[in-house]
Amino acid sequence: MTDARETGLPFMKMHGLGNDFVVLDGRAPSLSPGPALVAAIADRHRGIGFDQLAVIGAGEGDADAHLTFYNADGSTSAACGNATRCIARHLMEETGKSALTLTTARGRLQAVDAGGGLTSVNMGAPQLEWQDIPLAEAMETLELPIEGGPTATGMGNPHCTFFVEDAEAVPLDRFGPRYEHHPLYPERTNVQVASVIAPDHLRMRVWERGVGVTLASGSSSCAVAVAAARRGLTGRHVRITLDGGTLEVEWREDGVWMTGETCHVASGVLTAQFLAGLR
C-alpha cells in the first residue's frame, strides 16, 4: 500500500442487476486489501460503496485469473456469482477470449460469452449435505427444523431459502437478520424469500450476510433454483426475477450455470488523500 498511498489506487465499479461491486486489479503488483481499506471503500458516503469488493489476482496454473471476494462488513466470501460474471466480461473484453477459467475459494469456475451481451458462469455443483453447507449439526437439508421449513444449500457460501406465497410481502429488513445469525448456521447465512410464479419462473428477494438487502445475488439465485428443483416446485432451468432484474439459472450435470447482464459503470482512482486517511 506504500506506493498506492502516494499515487492512488485504480478501481472499477461494476454491477450485475444492481448487485454492485468495486473491483481492484491486483495482478501486478499483487494486492490483498486489509479490513480498514475494505470498510473505507464500502462506505457509500465517504468511500465508493459496494455490496462486495473483488480483487483480481494472477491466474493459478492454466486459469485466467484468481478472484477474492469481500463483503461490505469486511468479511470474506468464497463465492459471488454476479461479481464473477462482471469480471469475466471485463476479462473477455481485455483478452478477446470467449471462454475463461477462473479460480476462487469455491474452486475452478468456467465462464463463457452467452451472446447478446450476456455472460454465463458455472458456479459449480451445489453442496447439499449438512456438513458441507455447513450447518451446526447433522440433519436433512431439504426442510430445516425452523419455522417456515426453509431449505439449506451451499454454493461455496451458505444459503437459507424460504418459499412463501408472496415474496413482496416479507419485511426483509427485519426477516433477513433474524435468520442470518440463526444458530443452525455457524458461519451465518444468506437468506432468500422466493415465490413460485410458474414451473420455470421464480420471484426472489435476498438478504446477504454481511451486507443486508441487495437488488440481486448470483449465488443466492443458484441456491434458490436448486432448492426449488429439489422440492419439486420447478424444473432445473428457471428464470428468476429479482429486485434488480432477471437471471437465468440451469442446474446441469456439471454444475449450476447462471446467465445475465453485466455493467462496467466506471473506472477511477482512489486518491492518495483518501488512502492516507487509513493510517
Residue 29: pLDDT band with limits 50, 70, 90: confident
Residue 6 has pLDDT above 90, yes or no: no
Q: How far apart are CA 43 and CA 228, in angstroms?
A: 35
Closest CA to 59 of 23, 15, 28: 28
* Domain at 2-123+262-276, CATH homologous superfamily: Diaminopimelate Epimerase; Chain A, domain 1 (3.10.310.10)
Query: How does pLDDT run across 40-61, given as a tens digit for each residue?
Result: 999 999 999 999 999 999 998 8
* The domains spanning 2-123+262-276 and 151-253 adopt the same CATH topology: yes
Query: How does pLDDT run across 104-115, given as a tens digit for each residue?
Result: 998 999 999 999
pTM of the model: 0.91
Residue 176 has pLDDT above 60, yes or no: yes
Q: 109 versus 28: which is more confidently predicted?
A: 109
Closest CA to 259 of 267, 249, 269, 245: 249
Give the rounded distance of the alpha carbon of 215 from its chain centre: 11
Residue 78: pLDDT band with limits 50, 70, 90: confident
Give the rounded distance of the alpha carbon of 218 from its chain centre: 5
Q: What is the DSSP string of 178-214?
A: HHHT-TT-TT--EEEEEEEEETTEEEEEEEETTTEEE
Q: How far apart are CA 222 and CA 224, in angstroms?
A: 6
CB–CB of 203/167 below 8 Å? yes
Q: How far apart are CA 42 and CA 274, in angstroms?
A: 13
Residue 1 has pLDDT above 50, yes or no: no
First to last CA, the chain: 11
pLDDT, position 118: 97
Residue 238: pLDDT band with limits 50, 70, 90: very high
Q: Spell out a b/e string for 68-90, using b for 16 or more CB atoms within 10 Å of the CB, else e.
A: bbbbbebeebbbbbbbbbbbbbb
Q: How far apart are CA 258 and CA 168, in angstroms?
A: 23
Averaged confidence pLDDT in the chain: 94
Strands 19-25 and 9-16: antiparallel
The CATH code of domain 151-253 reads: 3.10.310.10
Residue 252 has pLDDT above 80, yes or no: yes
- Cβ neighbours of residue 147 closer than 8 Å, sequence gap 6 or more: none
Q: What are the domain boundaries of the chain?
A: 2-123+262-276, 151-253
Which residue shows C-alpha cell 506506493? 3
pLDDT, position 226: 98
